[in-house]
Amino acid sequence: MQKITPFLWFDSNVEEIAKFYTSIFKDSEIKAISAGQGFSSATVRLNNQELILFNAGPMFKLTEATSLFIGVETQEEVDHYWNALTADGGQESRCGWLKDKYGLSWQVIPSVLMTHMNDKDRERAGRVMQAMLQMNKIIVADIQKAYNG
């Protein structure tokens, strides 16, 4: 059983949001949807990570201070998540960050970026960092090119 579950406050229809997110992630499901006096909530599972989506109006806003990190292996995965989450009003940001159309921030990060940025050869790691700082969506081939020098 998951002991820490992200609880995300939206000012939108959580059933719509739940359907959107579960359409993007392969191993996902809507576990529950409920509504009460002035609020609604949905519990979803995305790639074995449970989230609670909550809507009780505009009192609180999502900010970039909270993001969900998607670790991927291939450029195809980067492209899939990036394109799906920025569709229909999402916004690209820098260094693998984006905001979806509901205002939630995500990071789509290939493992090669993290591996190369943590390389003991600080010159190589520095080149990778400089390449990443020039990107919105991470391009795996460009990260590898920077690493190789």
Q: How do residues 77-99 score in pLDDT, each as one tens digit?
A: 999 999 999 999 999 999 999 99
**Mean pLDDT, residues 91-117:** 97
Q: What is the dihedral of CA 134, 139, 145, 148, to 10 degrees?
A: 90
Q: In the prediction, which pLDDT does 38 show?
A: 86
pLDDT tens readout for residues 29-58:
999 999 988 899 999 999 999 999 999 889
Q: How confident is the model at residue 2 (pLDDT cuts 50, 70, 90)?
A: confident
**Mean pLDDT, residues 53-74:** 95
Residue 2 or residue 99, greater confidence: 99
Angle at 26 between CA 128 and CA 48, to 5 degrees: 85
Task: Quote the mean pLDDT of the chain.
Answer: 96
Q: Which domains does the chain have, with CATH numbers?
A: 1-60 (3.10.180.10), 62-149 (3.10.180.10)
